[in-house]
Amino acid sequence: MLRSERPIGIFDSGLGGLTVFKAVRGLMPAENLVYFGDTARVPYGTKSQSAVVSFSREIAGCLFAKKIKFLIVACNTASSLALEEIKRISPVPVLGVITPGVRAALRLVPRGGRILVTGTAATVTSRAYSRALLAVRPDVRVTEKACPLFVPVVEEGWCSKPLAGLVAGEYLAAFRRAKIDALILGCTHYPLLRKVIARVLGPRVKIIDSAGATAIAAKLELSRLGLLNSGRSRGKCEFLVSDAPERFSGLALKLLGIKTGAVTVKRF
């Protein structure tokens, strides 16, 4: 039987999922959290589906061994390609980031509105966002755009450098005149480039970050299952990576203000 004091597991291909971690931490400070960043194999967006499924199974297994009560797949590529397999093998409830992001976007878009989805090449090729959006609102017009260089820009810690603006402009400047109503940041790394992206697209476009929506969805599901931690003290956090713990810790602090403390290395 699952107990409320058990931790929530969160994983991503690297440090992008820390945007979800931070949102969960802010919304549910009493929860114990375990985060896994697959820094040895980032990015996932250029990998095959079989590779992403294999990586996701390994990481999920590692988090299951930590006796988690709930698993958040804080990676859009893994949510697109491996979510059903993770759910199949999971002993605990599993939440991906696509459905929360889709619901948040549809609340902001008028009938017949235009939605631009940015993501990794693998996420865009999967058409997971288009299918999810159109299943709920067949009237919306969806365009998906792969922005593969965004992940390495973030992983290098270059979010505020001129290069980030040049890359964003190359990918997105053409959409400024396309009367886009909303942009979905379809990768958890991309919120770290939100200001840069907003400057390229202009003030008219609403930008949807799935991190906050995912945290809200997680809290609602944990409440429904009676698994919210009712403790009053601040929950503990544990961080694991598959490589380069010092680099991960440094970028977590620099980009998100997250103090990780000691980071454990787990190699497969």
Catalytic residues, which ones? Answer: 75, 187
* Closest to 214 (Cα-Cα) out of 43, 59, 83: 83
CA 99/CA 137 separation, integer angstroms:
13
CA 191/CA 180 separation, integer angstroms:
18
In angstroms, the Cα distances linking 71 to 34, 92, 261 are 10, 7, 22
The answer to whether the CB of 106 falls within 8 A of the CB of 130 is no
